[in-house]
Structure 1
Amino acid sequence: MNWKKLILTGMAGSIGLSTPGFAQDDSVLLRPVVPDDFDRGRNESVTERARPDYDPIGINTGSFVLRPRVELGLGYDSNIYLMKENETDAAYAVLSPSIQASSAWSRHALNLTASSNLRRYLGESDRNETTWNLGALGRVDVNNAFSLTGEAQFAKLAENTLSGAIDSQLAAFSRYRRDFYGLRGEYRSGQFRSFVSADRTSFRFSNMTLSDGTGIDQGDRDRDVTRAVGQVEYAFTPSLSIYGQGTYDWTDYDRALLLSGQDNRDSEAFRLIGGFNFDLAGLLRGTLGAGYIRRNFDSPLYNTVSGLSVEARVEMFPSELTTVTLQARRALEDSNINQTTVFFSNSFSARVDHELLRNLILNARSEVEYLDYVGSRRHNWLYRASTGARYLVDNRFSLGLSAQYTSRTTQAGFSSGFQDFRGQLSLIVQK
């Protein structure tokens, strides 16, 4: 994974043309390892395109460029607790300040970020969210062929209610602390590129208090995940390369036992994946990867789990004004639902970004996800559709409008499905 580009892409999305209101779309706690640097400068997406009359200028301090930003939003959610019956709707307000500092050096790089998100529901304080994130990423260019990249992130987050790791009705109340440290070395020579990286992510979950006053201890979810990754890539042409990647990770839970009294799910896992990385001018770019994942648990209570792993992302360019993005993923995740231990998340999404006017960007996205809980008859289907528009007033101001519909179905005897609609109007002020 190209850590530098991942951070820069994420910050550019938050500052520029992201869909307001739905920042936590990722359904996983741990970031996936997938080569995301397929961009060779042969194509330019709608959201990447420079718009000098509307892009934020930033504050130049000499060595750094500062980019402050504030988003103010008003929205409505038809089912804030994601219930099948007795739905509760509420209006809400959002305040999301952030600042980014990027170095302006000819060699090496340093990026610092700080952001917060305050969401307040009218008359439903139990659903309020206060989250924050601090991040630093630095790259040292040892020579023309070798570089070292280090990263640290510290965040207090609200759990994604669609993650599948716990019931959605509980996830609405779940908050957790995530700390991440990573180091990567990358070597390039001719047609070859390789990297080795190591990272560690710690999760510490806060105890929950439900609307009826019930308290739930989440201490048995606290864990550390240590991961080592190696990848080799060979470019057949400037437009096409092939890669192979190996990942090994260790999951170590703080508590030896679950709240049920069973052994916790300490484990080791490895994944081998390979595929293609391409960037064809005027047509498409992306990464297609597939392989095998296997997880072994320390406790004899849990069987070894293995299966297909997929990471794919393709961007197509039918015209200069339209970008179509397709994504597919199959990954193995931990579960804290009843007696289940892990589940396979199988997802596919399609998104269209269209530049209707130079300063009016439209988008639409559709996603389907199938959650298959290993060793259980339980499974969930998730369907999600969203649309949005961003109107760029000038370099400092923009307006956003977004809407999202979500539906989850599940088989009888397990947690209830639900339907939810959200809409939001946003004002973004930036420098």
Structure 2
Amino acid sequence: MKRNATWAAGALLAGLFTGLGSGTSEAQTVDENLITPNLPLEFDRGRNVGVLQRERPEYQAVGVRLLNFTFYPRVEAGIGYTDNAYQISGGSVSDGFVTISPSVTASSNWAVNQLTLDATYRAKRFFSETPRNEDNYSVGANGRLDVTRSFTLDTQLRTARNTEPRASAASPQDAAEAVQYRQTSGGIGATFSGAKVRGQVNANFDRLSFDDVRTFAGGTLDQNNRDQTVLRVTGRGEFAISPDTSLFAQVGHTDTQYDQPLAFRVPNRDSKEINLLGGATFDLSALIRGAVGVGYVDRRYNAPIYRDLSGFATEAKIEYFPSQLTTLGVTVRRTVQDSYFFNSSGYFATAGAVRVDHELLRNLLLNAQVAYEVDDFTENAGSIKIFRVSGGGRYLLSRRFGFGFVIGHDKRSGTGDIATNTFNETRALISVIVQR
């Protein structure tokens, strides 16, 4: 046990000094931003099991045991098609592409404490439109040190190279190439759990660095003024009013600092933000589970040329179980984000999504999702609307082999001064999965 504690403590210290942290999901949905909440809402009390969470021992990878770890290697390769490779409003070009994504995860087998390591590489290659090629990777570590039965320390460590979604309101619309950025993150948190109370505190940072990209006009777009460091501290207290329901209150502080001015003699959008959230988490037997939080966000910019933003904020996720074979999920989020446009300091991003997962057969899992986001910019600059619909599934052939498929459609539209690059895109992907 002493050796295990040493490993876990080492992971925690590595998180403080190496700066690898929990990054954003590689395949972002409409309600995901570059900087995700550093203290996600938790509501699982073991009373309900979603379709994707259900154990399927006959189809699950067994891994390879080595010393005190189990390694799970995996490779996913696919071929796809898009009818708008550059995701632009006029002169759309269709093209095919291939993807390959090898990955490995290693999890400790200790009785107490836990350490998980993972590494992923994902390449996307278009047949003709090579400026849209992508090279993404992610290397991370998560450690948990069980100090006592009721007190734990956690760390999240990650470095990654990601691609910014073209539909994002913050993405430069004159970029001909895929907009890629490097993200280095790290965080440490503490959790205390009592009979009816639970307390959490988390401190982390995100370092974002954007690559320069070529424009449709043939020039180079310098994105150094988007490079930034974000420091956040969040605390949450929770009180159980019954075995299946708790009330919580949360407060967070965010400090955003940009490396360079926005332009010559134009200061950048350095800011400080306070976020207050209160609500409930619940897990009702055989029916519904989720978390709903509502509150207030206030972001104040250091430079007086930018208008401060404040208003209603929310984060919610609810799962409904009409049967053991179907899970219906609803997510809602309203946050403040910095604008990319010169005539606006920032915008409120309000997003919602509905997803259905269904187990048609024991080894055939289907899903469908509809998502919608409205980004309202300050100074009456206008708004951007993003609509996304998709459907797909996974066919589990055996423990080692599986197939996946997805087809989706995105639509981006805008109003006002920032109404640029309205586009539609339909895409499809078929993939094969090999795992151990």
TM bucket, shorter chain: over 0.9
Quote how far apart the aligned CAs of 1:339 are: 2.1
Identity %: 36
Unaligned stretches of 5+ in structure 1?
A: 5-9, 15-21
Quote how far apart the aligned CAs of 1:211 are: 4.9
Superposed, 1:171-210 pairs within 5 Å as: 173-210=178-215
Task: Give 1:399's aligned amino acid.
Answer: F
Task: Give 2:365's aligned amino acid.
Answer: I
Mean Cα deviation higher: 217-226 or 300-309: 300-309
Cα distance in 2, alignment partners of residues 51 and 402 from structure 1: 22
CA contact (8 A) 2:374 2:386 kept: yes
Cα distance in 2, alignment partners of residues 261 and 337 from structure 1: 16
Cα distance in 1, alignment partners of residues 159 and 288 from structure 2: 35
1:105-125 CA-partner distances (Å, limit 9, x unpaired) = 010000001001100001111
Superposed, 1:108-187 pairs within 5 Å as: 108-168=113-173, 170=175, 173-187=178-192
CA contact (8 A) 2:197 2:238 kept: yes
Aligned residue number for residue 357 of structure 2: 353
Q: Secondary structure at the match of 1:411?
A: strand
Task: Give 2:380's aligned amino acid.
Answer: S
Please, which of 381, 393, 397 is the counterpart of residue 389 of structure 1?
Answer: 393
Cα distance in 2, alignment partners of residues 412 and 82 from structure 1: 20
Cα distance in 2, alignment partners of residues 409 and 206 from structure 1: 26
1:327 paired to 2:356: no
CA contact (8 A) 1:340 1:374 kept: yes
Quote how far apart the aligned CAs of 1:412 are: 6.0
Cα distance in 1, alignment partners of residues 108 and 386 from structure 2: 41
1:316 paired to 2:320: yes
Quote how far apart the aligned CAs of 1:197 are: 1.0
With over 3 angstroms needed to count, the CA separation of the structure-2 counterparts of 1:263 and 1:171, relative to structure 1, is farther
Q: Secondary structure at the match of 1:402?
A: strand
CA contact (8 A) 2:142 2:157 kept: yes
CA contact (8 A) 1:54 1:392 kept: yes
Aligned residue number for residue 262 of structure 1: 266
With over 3 angstroms needed to count, the CA separation of the structure-2 counterparts of 1:153 and 1:61, relative to structure 1, is same
Quote how far apart the aligned CAs of 1:259 are: 2.5
CA contact (8 A) 2:343 2:381 kept: no
Quote how far apart the aligned CAs of 1:209 are: 1.6
CA contact (8 A) 2:343 2:379 kept: no
Please, which of 80, 85, 93 is the counterpart of residue 90 of structure 2?
Answer: 85
Aligned residue number for residue 62 of structure 2: 57
CA contact (8 A) 1:173 1:209 kept: no
CA contact (8 A) 1:167 1:415 kept: no
Q: Secondary structure at the match of 2:175?
A: helix
1:29-85 CA-partner distances (Å, limit 9, x unpaired) = 101245432101000000000111111111122411100110000000111111111
Quote how far apart the aligned CAs of 1:27 are: 3.4
Q: Which runs of 4+ in 1 moved over 6 A?
A: none
Task: Give 1:367's aligned amino acid.
Answer: A
Task: Give 1:307's aligned amino acid.
Answer: G
Task: Give 2:298's aligned amino acid.
Answer: R
Task: Give 1:184's aligned amino acid.
Answer: G
1:293 paired to 2:261: no
Task: Give 1:154's aligned amino acid.
Answer: T
CA contact (8 A) 1:126 1:211 kept: no
Q: How many residues align?
A: 413
CA contact (8 A) 2:176 2:214 kept: no
CA contact (8 A) 1:27 1:164 kept: no
With over 3 angstroms needed to count, the CA separation of the structure-2 counterparts of 1:300 and 1:385, relative to structure 1, is same
CA contact (8 A) 1:187 1:193 kept: yes
Unaligned stretches of 5+ in structure 2?
A: 1-11, 13-21
Quote how far apart the aligned CAs of 1:236 are: 0.9
Aligned residue number for residue 98 of structure 1: 103
Task: Give 1:198's aligned amino acid.
Answer: A
Quote how far apart the aligned CAs of 1:171 are: 8.1
